[in-house]
Amino acid sequence: VQVVESGGGLVQAGGSLRLSCTGSGLRFDEHTMGWFRQAPGKEREGVSCINWSGGDTYYADSVKGRFTISRDNAKNTLYLQMNALKPEDTAMYYCAAGYSDSEYLCRWKNVGYWGQGTQVTVSS
């Protein structure tokens, strides 16, 4: 099983980035998928998660209204559109796959598969 993120980078505050995550070796359309992030010295936190159909989503309070999660099961790909980025969004962003509902995956991190991460840096 492989879960591979892409799309990170350096952006100024107020800017946008779109992260992508492609899964292989797993039944992508049977998994709840999520984005997590970890800043230096902090615990990994659930940012946004989405169930297998895309009909159920969860967002951390800190990103509500700025980030949008989506998925394309035909392409085995998960996305995270990040707008109005802030310096505090700076972190390594990880894609993950699990079986629980979206909120449970994000809040309790019962992840089956993790990606290697992609760095997002927001300058002030």
pLDDT digits (tens, 9 = 90+) for 35-81: 999 999 999 999 999 999 999 999 999 999 999 999 999 999 999 99
pLDDT (average), residues 80-109 = 95
Long-range contacts of 69-78 (CB under 8 A, 24+ apart): 69/34, 69/35, 71/33, 73/28, 73/29, 75/22, 76/22, 76/23, 76/24, 76/28, 77/20, 77/21, 77/22, 77/23, 78/20, 78/21, 78/22, 78/23, 78/33, 78/35, 78/50
pLDDT (average), residues 10-30 = 97
